[in-house]
Amino acid sequence: MFIREMAKRVHLSEDTLRYYEKIGLLAHVPRDAGGHRVYGEVEIEEVQKIVYLKASGLSLNDIRNYLELMQRGKEGKEQQHILLLATQKTLLRKMVELQQSLKKINQLLYTRHQTCMTAGSQTVPE
C-alpha cells in the first residue's frame, strides 16, 4: 500500500510517516520503481509499535533507543527492560496525579451542585 492508505490505516498523517522515516524510526521503507513508498505488513507492525510506545509516554528519542535495543542480543533486552520499567514508573506517577486532580474536580463539582441547590435552583448551570 502507498503512503496515503498507510496513513489512513494507522491514523497518522502522511507527513508524520515521512518524519518517522527521516529520523530513523521507520527504517528502509521499500519503494517501487517510481520511487513511491510501499508499505507492507512489516511496516504496519513497526508503525503500530511506534504509536503504542508513544502513547505510553516515551519520547521519540526513547522510542528510537528502544527499537535499536531490539536489534541487540541479551544486552539489548536488559536495557529494554530498564527503559520499560522507567516508563512504567512515570505512568504510575502520572496516574496518581490524574486521580488526585479528578478527586479535586469532583469535590468542586459537588460544592457547586450544593450551592445551586441551596440557592433554590432545580438545575445546575452548565
**Per-residue model confidence as pLDDT tens digits over 4-58:** 999 999 999 999 999 999 999 998 899 999 999 999 999 999 999 999 999 888 8
Q: Judge if pTM exceeds 0.85.
A: no
The rounded distance, in Å, linking the Cα atoms of 108 and 26 is: 46
Predicted local distance difference test score (pLDDT) of residue 18:
95
In three-state secondary structure terms, 87 is helix
For 69-124, the pLDDT digits (tens) are: 888 877 788 888 888 898 899 889 999 999 999 999 999 999 988 888 787 665 65
